[in-house]
Chain A
Amino acid sequence: MTPPSTEARARGSRRTDEVVIEVKDLHVAFDGRPVLAGVDLRVYRGETLVIMGGSGCGKSTLLRTMIGALRPNRGKVVLLGKDLHALDEDGLDALRKRFGILFQSGALYNSMTVGENVALPLREHTSLDEAIIRIMVKMKLELVGLRDFESLVPSQISGGMRKRVGLARALALDPEIIFYDEPGAGLDPVVAGVIDKLIADLSRKLGVTSIVVTHEMGSAFRVADRMVMLYEGRVVAEGPPEAIRATADPLVRQFIHGEPDGPIPLRRSKTDYAEDLLA
């Protein structure tokens, strides 16, 4: 695989050669309809990997399989040295405490306040004092700029704010790996920029490994040490951001420049239109 680019090094990438996630020949299908068809992927400790691809191409599905929430039809995921889908529940739980996830919708616990959401992993998985937990919650919320919103419940804050709280919660246990599903979607440009900076800071200052799923190219180029593009259930391009930006591959070019014409079709149907109408 490609070594860290000079550009990435210049930005202070802390990528090492240790592989923390290895995805091998991953196949996932829903009701016989294949979504992932042989994804191969490696993630190195300390890097920020951006997974890009069109809406509905299976990015969230890949993410869910990588965290052990979905069982693949074929292939495997090795996360932090463990074959994810061969682990029992206890083994999985031990692993789960070492990574954090920002879900596409935030997935906050709606029956709890913002503060309780962030405190929950700390209360359940550590034996810290309540006083210390309270301080840590404030710190995590301050990171995402929402310290004053601790006592509100999720239904009282906006979608973008829910996402930021989701991020604070994902950070609660200081995970080694963080998965972000569309971190910038639904946020205004300023806040999206703040989140991008946060992702970069976590990786550069603390050496956190980040996997960022997105179809927003601006943000992708801002945070990535390395990028892969997913298309029709496979990785079709891989490389450092500058190589992706300069690529001649028409598929990738179309995607990163958002051109309506090119090899990527708008329509996803496999059946013939005329035939379907007459059927």
Chain B
Amino acid sequence: MQNTQPPEYAIETKNLFIFYGSFAAVSEVNIKIERQKVTAIIGPSGCGKSTLLRAFNRMNDFVPSSYVTGEVLLHGQNLYGSNIDPVEVRRRIGMVFQKPNPFPKSIYENIAWGARINGFKGNMDELVEQSLRGAALWEEVKDKIHKSAYELSGGQQQRLCIARTIAIQPDIILMDEPASALDPISTLRIEELMQELKKNYTIIIVTHNMQQAARVSDYTAMMMLDREGSRSGTVIEFSETKRIFTNPKDKRTEDYVTGRFG
């Protein structure tokens, strides 16, 4: 993939539908995600938030019957174009999951491994330190980086996963409920970290925690089933976070953010 002139938007979707077999889990999404900002995707369970997030780095490809129509543009290039390598897509667009999932290796190797298979030839010690610093973990682990990653707490493991992601210098970091398995202090650490990370990366986060979305994001996409009785989700309102949480336009967004939905 060629990196052309960086556009204002990191990702743009055009008439995006995501199917599982004949069922459209997500319908007609047209959003533009701004660079170096945090964008939150919120909405009730089963409205397609994670499906949409996974479409941004072709993770849905792992579900055999899934396919998309429409476009997901990264730097103006369609990620689903015929000449696109999904592995390269996932290198450019990293992902952090709900449950911390470090490799059963040392802290050091958790970071070095991905970089190495991506052809990193520089100073590995430096890269490991840099990545751990970037994930606000270095000070806590610098004396034990050759110990198993499993010795770390849940919050530390999650930051290690973030360090692992930034080690391969992606453009975008996707986060699927990155703090929902963590205690409140670890959660705040991750949230603070996101504010640091957005100086260099574009972040898209799926969260059930509305206060978290309000705290961390610059933009919010509100997803909902597209009509009553339907099982297909779509983005019903997309705007600045401060707008969504003080004066949303859509009645359904209002009901959801004020806790009156359902």
A binds B: no
A residues whose Cβ falls under 8 Å from a Cβ of B? none
Which residues of B are at the interface with A, using a C-beta cutoff of 8 A?
none
